[in-house]
Amino acid sequence: MFIIFFFIQLICYFWQFFDFYGLVLLYKSKMRYDGTK
């Protein structure tokens, strides 16, 4: 039971990290697009 809970917490942590990383990439690509326009 504890291992399953730990696994869920780990997935949530990585999900937040990759979501933040994706937002940063999206922001950078948007800045690049606005710069070339």
What digits encode the pLDDT tens for the residues 1-28? Answer: 789 999 999 998 888 888 888 888 888 8
What's residue 16's pLDDT? 86
What's residue 36's pLDDT? 65
Torsion, CA 28, CA 31, CA 36, CA 37, rounded to 10: 140
Closest by Cα among 12, 16, 11 to 24? 16
- Structure tokens given for 35: 């710069």
What's residue 37's pLDDT? 55
CA distance 17 to 9: 12
Location of structure tokens 């690049």 = 32
Instruction: Provide the whole-model pTM.
Output: 0.43
